[in-house]
Amino acid sequence: MDVPREKKPNRRRLYLTIGGIVAVVVVTLGLSRLKPAAPRVEAATLWTDTVRQGPMVREVRGPGTLVPEQIRWVSAVTPGRVEKKPVQPGARVTAGTVLLELSNPDVQIQLLQAQRQLTDAEAQLVSLKSQLETQRLNQAGVVASVRTQFREATRKAAGDSALAAANLISREEYSKSRDLLEELTERLQVEQQRLTIYTENIPAQLTVQEAQVGRLRAVADFQRGLVDAMVVRAGADGVLQELPLEVGQWAISGATLAKVVQPERLKAVLRIPETQAKDLSLGQSAVIDTRNGLVKGHVVRMDPAAQNGTVTVDVMLEGALPRGARPDLSVDGTIEIERLDNVLNVGRPAYGQANSTVGLFRVLPGGSEAERVQVQLGRSSVNRIEVVRGLQPGDIVILSDMSRWDAVDRVSIR
């Protein structure tokens, strides 16, 4: 008779099963806690710089053009038609060089009319002088005649007085002599007063007519100046830069006929962004790049108003100009604002603005990875910017645009 045997449990298999389950759970938990793999960035596309402790020069930069210090604009004084054009733009001229010859018959007719009116006024002045002098002489003759009569009456009255005393003439004859003497005395006084008035009024009447002659002479001179102005001259030594009109064209009064400049005396007119112009001041040194060389200068004027987001700054050039420097040449200018002695600074990042906090990727030791750090920036220059907080000397940071990695704090560099 068979006796059933008691079957013992297989504990080893149980332990292996439990261990496998535990291992699966541990691996699952570990994998769930792992961070995503850092994205890769090509090292060749990165622009990096090392944080330095030391001096930093603050500068601002802007484009501009070379402009003559002195510009002579020649305008049309009177309208006219261009008859001659002796010179062409680019020629060197003097103050008396004839640039254009204009013609306008109306202006010449107005000069002739003004000269005729002046001649008439001068003739009237001569006639007035003659007339007044004739009147004065006539009155002087009247005074002389009355004076003679007065003297005869005086002598006759004296004789009649002696005869009347001797009873040789009647009292009536003596009274008539005295009355005649009194009449001539008063008449002589009147005629002398009239002569005085004539004499005193002559200068006043001549002054009025002479003033009229002077006004007409000024009008004639003005009209003559208009005629002379139809021969257009440079008015200054230099180079003729612009002469837009051609022979046969009509120039209106006040129109610009020519532009004369001095190419040896140029200044740079820079357009500085208004956000960077707040620290500019007169006298600051500058360097102008003409593409053919560098020339030093200093700030002499700043436009008080901003236009199109820029401030116009005039820089006076010092020393000889590089070869090829000429008016209207495009240049780049760099103006030195200040020198900082001992500051922490780094190259200016793509999106780093002065006095702001930005996230920059700092390259970790080994150079295979970079992590994001918050960096507080301070004063800025053209190519460098001050680091206030967040970096240390010797740190290597990525300055190129990393905006596509804003969602991650770590990148892998390959």
Residue ranges per domain, the chain?
Answer: 40-67+263-413, 71-104+231-257, 105-226
Determine which of 11-25, 132-146, 324-338, 379-393 has the lowest per-residue pLDDT on average. 11-25
How high is the pLDDT of residue 24? 67
Specify the higher pLDDT residue, 34 or 101: 101
Q: How confident is the model at residue 119 (pLDDT cuts 50, 70, 90)?
A: very high
Rounded to an integer, the average pLDDT of 299-322 is: 91
> What span, in angstroms and rounded, lies between the C-alpha atoms of 329 and 351?
31
Rounded to an integer, the average pLDDT of 192-197 is: 90
How high is the pLDDT of residue 28? 64
Above 80 in pLDDT, residue 11?
no
382: left (phi > 0), else alpha (psi -120 to 50), else beta? alpha
Q: How confident is the model at residue 25 (pLDDT cuts 50, 70, 90)?
A: low
Residue 295 pairs in a beta bridge with 288
Determine which of 176-180, 284-288, 339-343, 362-366 has the lowest per-residue pLDDT on average. 176-180
- Helix 105-165 × helix 171-229 angle, to 10°: 170
> What span, in angstroms and rounded, lies between the C-alpha atoms of 246 and 278?
47
How high is the pLDDT of residue 29? 63
Above 50 in pLDDT, residue 176?
yes
Residue 13 structure tokens? 């298999």
How high is the pLDDT of residue 406? 85
Out of 48-52, 152-156, 274-278, 351-355, the most confident range is 48-52
Rounded to an integer, the average pLDDT of 370-388 is: 91
CATH number assigned to the domain with residue range 71-104+231-257, chosen from the 4 options 2.40.50.100, 3.20.20.80, 3.20.20.100, 1.10.760.10: 2.40.50.100
Above 70 in pLDDT, residue 2?
no
List Cα–Cα distances, 304 to 62, 310, 314, in angstroms: 17, 11, 12
Above 90 in pLDDT, residue 4?
no
Looking at the chain, the whole-number percentage of residues with pLDDT higher than 90 is: 51
How high is the pLDDT of residue 34? 47
> What span, in angstroms and rounded, lies between the C-alpha atoms of 72 and 87?
16
Rounded to an integer, the average pLDDT of 145-166 is: 84
List Cα–Cα distances, 116 to 112, 122, 213, 215, 219, in angstroms: 6, 10, 12, 13, 11
Specify the higher pLDDT residue, 296 or 35: 296
How high is the pLDDT of residue 158? 83
Residue 62 pairs in a beta bridge with 333
Q: How confident is the model at residue 112 (pLDDT cuts 50, 70, 90)?
A: very high
Structurally, at CATH architecture level, domain 40-67+263-413 sits in Beta Barrel (2.40)
> What span, in angstroms and rounded, lies between the C-alpha atoms of 308 and 48?
33
Parallel/antiparallel/unpaired status of strands 80-84 and 250-251: antiparallel
How high is the pLDDT of residue 10? 55
How high is the pLDDT of residue 26? 64
